[in-house]
Amino acid sequence: MTKRFMVRPALCIGCRTCELACSLTHQEGKTPGRTRIYPLAVGKEKWVPVACLQCDDPACVKSCLVDALRMNEELGYIELLQERCIKCRACVAACPFGCSLIDEEQEIIVKCDLCEGNPACARFCPTKALEYK
């Protein structure tokens, strides 16, 4: 069975290590505020790390008219083929969870790819609020 990305918001302490890990993995440590994972405060000391849920019936894939997004069956994540993307923002507008993002600086669309099977955010999460197993 493919591994699952597990989020346990109750364990999240809002330390933003996941953001930093994501930023260092994907964009050389630049703009940790615009990464593929977002720990959002929902109350006093309550945090929810929001990241792509790799839906079974993904709106982003359906909205892509040039097939730049596709399900990677082997690793169980939705893959964004950067070379094919024409930056029309359809997936950004269509994702019901808001997890397809625009990197304004590099002018590209970014989306969680579970680090192709070894997500850095989960590896570095000190409280195991994020796990990949």
Partner 1 sequence: MKIQINGRWYKAREGEMVLDVLRREGIEVPALCAHEAVEPYGACRLCMVEITHEDWGGWKGNVTSCLYPVEDKLIVQTHTEDVIELRKMVLNLLLARCPNTPEIQKLAEEYGIDITDFVPREDADDCIMCGLCTRVCTQMGFNAISVAGRGYDREVATPLKEAPPDCVGCLACVNICPTNHIKYQDVGTTREIWGRQFELVKCKECGKALITREFADYLIKNRDIPADYFDVCDDCKRAGTAKNFKKLVHWEEKEEAEEEVSV
Total number of residues binding partner 1 (CB under 8 A)? 41
85 binds partner 1, rule: CB under 8 A: yes
Between 22 and 68, CB nearer to partner 1 = 68
State the minimum distance, in angstroms, from the CB of residue 93 to partner 1: 4
101 lies in the site for partner 1, by CB under 8 A? yes
The string of DSSP codes covering 67-116 is: --EEEETTTTEEEE-TTT-----HHHHH-TT--EEEETTTTEEEE--GGG
Binding to partner 1 by residue 4, rule CB under 8 A? no
The structure tokens 């690793």 sit at: 75
Q: Does 90 bind partner 1 (CB under 8 A)?
A: yes
